[in-house]
Amino acid sequence: MADIEALIFFTFWGLAAITEDKVDHLHVNMAGNPNSPMPTMLAGLPGMEALAGRMMRKKMTKLEIPSTREMLQILDEAGCELYACQLAMEMFQLEKSDLIPQVKDVITAGDFYDLSDGAQIIFT
């Protein structure tokens, strides 16, 4: 939207964000997460992760933050290209048909480096 070309490469656990049957059911592991305000002992109790997820979704709705699926659609419509990692796809036995329609292709990390030649690359 800022007229900046953007490419996003999803690998390993990030594939969940673009996998059709998981995109609407993402969660954050609270136990052992250094960014969690919840102590690990408490976060590991049964039901705490689901409770934290519900609280986060409620807050996101209140702040009018788009869902993951909506955000990916917004990115796609703005011209951002979404790619999935071939190796991770093979490891998790996923096919391109398992992914949301906005994913342009399944490529190797080397292919992604070629596509993003000269770009600023940010790993998160």
User: Which pLDDT tens digit goes with each residue over 18-61?
Assistant: 999 999 988 877 777 788 788 888 888 888 888 888 888 899 99
Phi, psi values for residue 85, rounded to 5°: -80, 125
Chain segment 85-100, per-residue pLDDT in tens: 999 999 999 999 999 9
What lies within 8 Å, CB to CB, of 17 at 6+ separation is 10, 23, 26, 68, 72
So what's the pLDDT on residue 124?
62
Average pLDDT of the segment spanning 13-20: 95
Q: What confidence score (pLDDT) does residue 20 get?
A: 97
Average pLDDT over every residue of 110-115? 93
Instruction: Work out the burial of residue 99: count CB atoms within 10 Å of its CB; fewer than 13 is exposed, 13-18 middle, 19 or more buried.
Output: buried
Res 1: pLDDT: 64
Please check whether residue 7 is in contact with residue 80, taking contact to mean a CB–CB distance below 8 angstroms. yes
Task: Report the first-to-last Cα separation within the chain, whole angstroms.
Answer: 21
**Residue 118's pLDDT is what?**
84
What one-character-per-residue DSSP string does 8-65 give?
Answer: EEE-GGGGGGGBTTTTTS-----TT-TT-SS-HHHHTSTTHHHHHHHHHHHHHHHTTP
d(C-alpha 91, C-alpha 1), whole Å: 34
Neighbours of 19 (CB within 10 A): 20
